[in-house]
Structures are given as C-alpha cells and as structure tokens.
Amino acid sequence: MKKMIGKLRHGRTARWGRALVVMGSLVGAVMGMTGCSESDRPLEPPVRFEGDIFGTFYQVTIMDPLTQGESLDLEAGFKAELEDVDQAMSTYRDDSELIAFNEAPLEEWQPLSNELIEVLAISQSVAEASHGAFDITVGDLVNLWSFGPGARPEEVPADDVLAEQLAQVGFDAVEVDTQNMQARRTRDVFVDLSGVAKGHATDRVAAYLDQQGIEHYLVNLGGDLIARGLRDEEEQTPWRIGIEVPEDGQQRAQHIIPLESMSVATSGDYRHYFEVDGKRFSHTIDPRTGRPVTHQVASTSVFHPSNAWADAWATALLVVGEQDAMQMAIENNLKALLLVREGDHWRSVASPEFVNYFGEALVEELGIDQLPGSQLTGSPLPGSPLPGSPLPGSPLPGSPLPASSLQTSMPGEQPVTGE
C-alpha cells in the first residue's frame, strides 16, 4: 500500500478544513449548558452548543423552547451524528470506512454504507458537472502539498513527483454503484472526501434536529451552515449569516445575508495555505494541473438546500476561476456569490440564480453591507443587527452585470496580498 496510508496511522486529529465564513447572527444571552441537574428546567433561547470536531468547530443554535434535559439529549444526539460521519469519512483515522475503501484492492467492488455511497455519488455528480474541477481523487496531491493527513513539510513538490501523482488523478478512477450500494477504485488513487464531508455532516445534524421536531435552528460546522425556521419567530426575523472578508486573520463580514431554510458553504484560498517566497499555496487543488489554485477569486459561497452539494460546488467554483465559475453557476442553476480580488478591493459577483432567489432587495442590502472595514471591526459578528432592525450603512455604487447578476466593489481595509 502507499506510503501515505502508513503515515495516516500516525494521524493526530480528524480535520476537514476550516471555517471560512463568519457565522452566527445571534445577539443576546447564550445559555450555558453545564452544571445543572434539574432536567425539567426550561432554558431561555437561544440555546447554543459549541465544540470542536473534525479539526474545526461547531455551533448549533436553537431557538425552540427546551428544557435542560432535552437540550442535553439533543447535544448527545447530534454529536453521535457527527461521530458517525467521522467514522465513515475521515482520512485522519485509520479505522474509517473511507480508509478501508482506499486500502481495498483495485477493481474489486466494495460494499459500503448508505452514507458513504450517498456522499460518493454526490461527489461524482459534481465532478461530472464541473468537468473534473471537483475531484475526490486528488487525495495524494493534497497530501503532497502538505494539506492531507500525512504531515509533510510545507514546500513545493518536485515537478516529476507532481507529474507522477497527477497521472493517476481523475474522477473516472472511482465507480459508484448506487443500486447495489458498492463502489470501487480502478486506479491507485487516494479518495479524499474532505471537500464534501463537512457539508454532509452539517446535513446530518440538520436532519437529526428535524427528526426531533426542532423548528428554529442554525447549524454552523466550520463555516458550513444550515439555517431552519427563524431567528426570532415573534418578530419574524430570519437568521442572518456573514460572508467573511477573504483575508487571513480577519473575522469580519463582507456581506450579511438572511437565510431561511437554506444552507451555504464557502471555499476560500485565504485561510488554509502556506507561503514560499511570498507565493501563497492554498489547500484547494486544481486537478488539471495538480497545483493549488492561483487566480483572483478569493472565495466562493454556494447556497443550496443540501450542504453537501453546496460544499462540493463551492470548491469546484473556486478551482475554475471567475468566468468559468459564473458559467458553471448558470449551467447548474447555482446560487453563487464570489469575492474577487482586485488590487486592494474585493469585487462581489453573484450568479443570476442567487439574485433570483434572494431578490433585488438583497442586492441592495449587499451594497449596504460593503462598508469600509473600519466600521465592521471589533466584533466577530460585525453588523449583526438587532432583530427587526435594518442592516447598517448605506449603499455603495454598484455596477450591475447583465442577466441580473450582481457585481459591486468596495475598498479593502488593507491591501490584500495577491498570489
């Protein structure tokens, strides 16, 4: 078996990428979840659960009335869902189902769990629709570039090693048989589901909360989110989420967007990267070149009812760059929002479907949200308005694109380092 697998056995923490979106739209008290034994005691919403998982964080916020006992049960329940996903799809634990699949002999069909088959099938659909921009067979390249479980030095790999690995890559090397719930590898690729598993896990937590009859919640798993119901039912206030300024070390919202029964995932090149000689290498690999993506698109956010699809599509759009991303968004009816670097500015470009879904009013609100950074500092939830209040600021001039696309620009707080 490959060397990488050996290294996996020494893998430390499960780790599926980092938050790229500043989440949350809560103001007001957050209830503590510990130290109470009166299980019937009602808790005052919002009830928020927080913790670490997959090398990132989770936040689950519930607005439904809950007792202390119910809240503890819910927490145990959704944590079990997260654990299940980790067991199935982590490349950072040697006992996961995915690692077993990666170690199985080539060509032989492997019976797999419904869950793994579902995620493999979603991955292959997005791979096809994105013409291979999203490609779960990039695992060895991800590792080669030091972003995988095998702890490699942060350096640029040699051309010949890259070429050798790249020759194997291609999503046709994995076949998924959804009828018989089995899959196989036909070439020696390392399947990496990190670009979709976090979104899938978010879906699982949401499905669990739905089953438990919870109606108003926000799940944030490392920046991949699902909102359901309302932030404040009485006031009819939706959840609001922030799309992060695409700059490392910043936790400010570039845009604040109301979300109702919808999910969003964001991919970006500004968080998970290393630098050599001033050049930035991010963890999103272009499967056409075997190298980290290098263009001016700093982040891509995709809104989709399923967060697994959103997650995979966000990566695909980041790979291909602005023009092709918009083309793909149109072809696949994606609600996409891109932040594009332009000198010390970021330009925001939204797909037609985004504008159709969120409406012209939000187009204006997005302008409103593009305030000079100085007005947004000091809080991880900048601009989070009080329930019912209008979003802050005043519109900056925008330049509408044809086909009702949205395109606006704002001065950056500081120059953004290019790639």
- Residue 63 binding ligand ADP, by CB under 6 A: no
CA angle 275, 144, 126 (to 5 degrees): 95
Question: Buried b vs exposed e over 302-313: b needs ≥16 C-beta within 10 Å?
Answer: bbbebbbbbbbb
Distance in Å, CB of 249 to ligand ADP, minimum: 16
Q: Which residues pair with 274 in a beta bridge?
A: 281
Distance in Å, CB of 181 to Mg ion, minimum: 26
Residue 257 or 319 having the CB closest to ligand ADP: 319
Site for ligand ADP (CB under 6 A): which residue of 201, 285, 363, 371? 285
Site for ligand ADP (CB under 6 A): which residue of 46, 149, 157, 195? 195
Binding mask 14-53 for ligand ADP (x = CB under 6 A): --xx--x---------------------------------
Residue 266 or 384 having the CB closest to ligand ADP: 266
Residue partners of 382: CB distance under 8 A and separation at least 6: 22, 242, 252, 253, 375, 376
How many other CB atoms sit within 10 Å of the CB of residue 386? 11
What span, in angstroms and rounded, lies between the C-alpha atoms of 20 and 248?
10
Indicate which of ligand ADP, Mg ion, none lies near residue 24 (CB less than 5 to 8 Å, by partner kind).
none
What span, in angstroms and rounded, lies between the C-alpha atoms of 271 and 20?
7
Binding mask 265-284 for ligand ADP (x = CB under 6 A): --xx--------------xx
- Residue 302 binding ligand ADP, by CB under 6 A: no
Which of these segments, 13-21, 112-120, 333-341, 369-377, binds ligand ADP (CB under 6 A)? 13-21
What span, in angstroms and rounded, lies between the C-alpha atoms of 252 and 242?
8
Q: Which of 166, 133, 137 is nearest to 324 (CA)?
A: 133
Tokens 């959704």 -> residue: 78
Site for Mg ion (CB under 5 A): which residue of 232, 244, 286, 311? 311
Binding mask 249-278 for Mg ion (x = CB under 5 A): ------------------x-----------
Q: How many residues bind Mg ion (CB under 5 A)?
A: 2
What span, in angstroms and rounded, lies between the C-alpha atoms of 63 and 231?
7
Indicate which of ligand ADP, Mg ion, none lies near residue 20 (CB less than 5 to 8 Å, by partner kind).
ligand ADP
Residue type, 384: S
Site for ligand ADP (CB under 6 A): which residue of 70, 81, 140, 192? 192
Residue 144 or 230 having the CB closest to ligand ADP: 144
Residue partners of 122: CB distance under 8 A and separation at least 6: 196, 200, 306, 308, 309, 312
Residue 159: burial class (beta carbons within 10 Å; 0-12, 13-18, 19+): exposed
Distance in Å, CB of 21 to Mg ion, minimum: 10
Helix (H) or strand (E) holding 221: strand 217-221
The number of helix segments (H) and strand segments (E) in the chain equals 10, 20
Site for ligand ADP in 109-138 (CB under 6 A): 134-136, 138
Indicate which of ligand ADP, Mg ion, none lies near residue 16 (CB less than 5 to 8 Å, by partner kind).
ligand ADP
Residue 231 or 271 having the CB closest to ligand ADP: 271
Distance in Å, CB of 320 to Mg ion, minimum: 15
Site for ligand ADP in 316-355 (CB under 6 A): 319
Indicate which of Mg ion, ligand ADP, none lies near residue 117 (CB less than 5 to 8 Å, by partner kind).
none
Residue 192 or 247 having the CB closest to ligand ADP: 192
Report whether 245 contacts 266 (CB < 8 A).
no
Q: Look at strands 42-43 and 66-67 and give their pairing.
A: antiparallel
Q: Which residues pair with 345 in a beta bridge?
A: 342, 411
- Residue 147 binding ligand ADP, by CB under 6 A: yes
Binding site for Mg ion (CB under 5 A): 267, 311
Binding site for ligand ADP (CB under 6 A): 16-17, 20, 134-136, 138, 142, 147, 192, 194-195, 198, 267-268, 283-285, 287, 311, 314-315, 319
